[in-house]
Amino acid sequence: MPTKRVVIFAGGDLSAEYLSLLDEEDFVIGADRGALFLITHGVEPDIAVGDFDSVPPEALHQIEAGSKKTITCDPVDKDLTDSEMALDLALGTQPESILLFGVTGTRIDHTLASIQMMTRALQRQVHCSVMDTHNYITLTGSQTEIHDLGYTYVSLLPLTPEVTGITLEGFQYPLTGATLKLGQSLGVSNILTAERGTVSIESGLLLIIQSKD
């Protein structure tokens, strides 16, 4: 049976406040240190996955005992990051949506890789989002609704060389049929003027980043 939502906790910046966003029906995956975070906060992951090189050896026993299923791999002989392995497992459940925590932090390479991973979910027509204390990031290749989640700004950044036909409704700075090219900042720091707005595009992939200081 398809899963309604998969929530992934990876090993980047994590906060206990994220746990309040979990629903009982969520399928929860802990990637590497994210699994230990869940268990130490009283949440049993449906799957713990990773090479677990960021946790002490004794913690791995705790992870194995506190998870419904544990999948381990060699930290050297692997091609995927722990977060991407978690995403693969999430997509395998045929979810309606995927929410990722702990995929941002001090490692900009991991952060960018995790953001780009959302394209794989979009190809499967699965809504995917990345969330941390200051940002909520989604991706669209067509049309999406943006709800007011308490963030100050909404920025639009192309993930492909060009995004065409950008039309905004419900924003302080509207656009109609606009084009954004990679490297342009025209779409940065817009503001919702209602509880929700609409972003429509004709071609390309567009990152939608809600953020606050």
| Cα(106)–Cα(134) distance, integer angstroms | 14
Residue range 83-110, pLDDT digits in tens:
999 999 999 999 999 999 999 988 899 8
* Side-chain-facing half-sphere of 21: CA atoms under 13 Å: 19
Instruction: Give the 3-state secondary structure of residue 80.
Output: coil
Give the Cβ contact number of residue 60 at 10 Å: 18
Total tally of structural domains belonging to the chain = 2
State yes or no: pLDDT of 77 exceeds 60.
Answer: no
Instruction: Give the 3-state secondary structure of residue 152.
Output: coil
Tell me which of 104, 133, 162 is where a domain ends: 133
Whether residues 19 and 86 share a domain: the answer is yes
The bridge status of strand 178-181 relative to strand 153-158 is: unpaired
Residue range 113-150, pLDDT digits in tens:
999 999 999 999 999 999 999 999 999 999 999 999 99
CATH number for position 61: 3.40.50.10240
- C-alpha dist (Å) from residue 183 to 138, 161, 198: 19, 9, 23
Whether residues 30 and 117 share a domain: the answer is yes
Catalogue the long-range contacts made by 69-76 (C-beta closer than 8 Å, 24 or more residues apart). Answer: 70/35, 71/47, 73/49, 75/51
Q: Report yes or no: 14 and 37 within 8 Å, Cβ to Cβ.
A: yes
User: pTM value?
Assistant: 0.92
Tell me which of 133, 167, 191 is where a domain ends: 133
Q: What single string gives the DSSP state of each residue in 16-74?
A: GGGGGG--TT-EEEEETHHHHHHHHTT---SEEEE--TTS-HHHHHHHHHHSS-EEE--
- In the chain, what percentage of residues exceed pLDDT 90? 82
Whether residues 63 and 146 share a domain: the answer is no
